[in-house]
Amino acid sequence: DADVTQTPRNRITKTGKRIMLECSQTKGHDRMYWYRQDPGLGLRLIYYSFDVKDINKGEISDGYSVSRQAQAKFSLSLESAIPNQTALYFCATSDSRGLPYNEQFFGPGTRLTVL
Amino acid sequence: AQSVAQPEDQVNVAEGNPLTVKCTYSVSGNPYLFWYVQYPNRGLQFLLKYITGDNLVKGSYGFEAEFNKSQTSFHLKKPSALVSDSALYFCAVRALDNYGQNFVFGPGTRLSVLP
């Protein structure tokens, strides 16, 4: 979905480096999420934010941190990257208004390789 | 705990034939079920959802899904497959869990439509 953008799209880094992945959205949604995708495991939730002042850990938050700089921006940081954090990372948004369980809209993904 | 199973890693079907991608779920309370599709080098795209009401849900690109409460299933179907339907398909359930009212994704099923 072009309304959800992620930068960078690809990144190769070395063990121990600090990495930041950024997500921006123009959909006006209040909720934002970070997932990682690994083959055969589907998507696993890292962190989520229901509004600027509300940030919560997901299923696999260890080794990651996030910042919600504005309603439209949600960044994911790897403080000290390790090889098993090599994965495809997705940002997603959803709208809490209207129907109780609206679907999510995903960015194009960031492919991260940690050597 | 909530969970989603997609029992087939891979589904192969000939173009023009009907296709089914299976999904079963386990949740506490009412399930809110979703299907997403992922094309190569793209983020996930929403296909359809079941919230309440008619058990047969119609979605994008001619896909439909049938909710079966007794079998806890939400199988994705299409009457006539196209080569362009080849992609990775994810079933997801919206659930109350330790991480709030968030989505739980299945591991994905790769659909290959053969010409």
Q: For residue range B64-112, list pLDDT tens digits in order.
A: 999 999 999 999 999 999 999 999 999 999 876 555 567 889 999 999 9
Model pLDDT, residue A1:
55
Nearest by CB to B108, which of A42, A90, A100? A42
Model pLDDT, residue A100:
60
Query: Is residue B61 less than 8 Å (CB to CB) from chain A?
Result: no
A59 has pLDDT over 80: yes
Does the distance separating the beta carbons of B43 and A4 come in below 8 Å? yes
Q: What residues contact B10, with CB distance under 8 A and at least 6 apart? A: B109, B110, B111, B112
Maximum CA pair distance of chain B?
A: 45
Model pLDDT, residue B99:
53
Residue B36, both tokens: 């997403």
- Comparing B27 with A33, which gets the higher pLDDT? A33
Q: Are B21 and B106 in contact (CB under 8 A)?
A: no
A105 has pLDDT over 80: yes
Residue B62: pLDDT band (50, 70, 90) is very high
Mean pLDDT in residue range A46-51: 92
Does the distance separating the beta carbons of A101 and B107 come in below 8 Å? no
Nearest-Cα distance to chain B for A19, in Å, is: 21
Does the distance separating the beta carbons of A108 and B107 come in below 8 Å? no
Model pLDDT, residue A98:
63
Does the distance separating the beta carbons of B102 and A48 come in below 8 Å? yes
Residue B113 burial class via C-beta count within 10 angstroms: exposed 0-12, middle 13-18, buried 19 and up: buried
Residue B26, both tokens: 């386990």
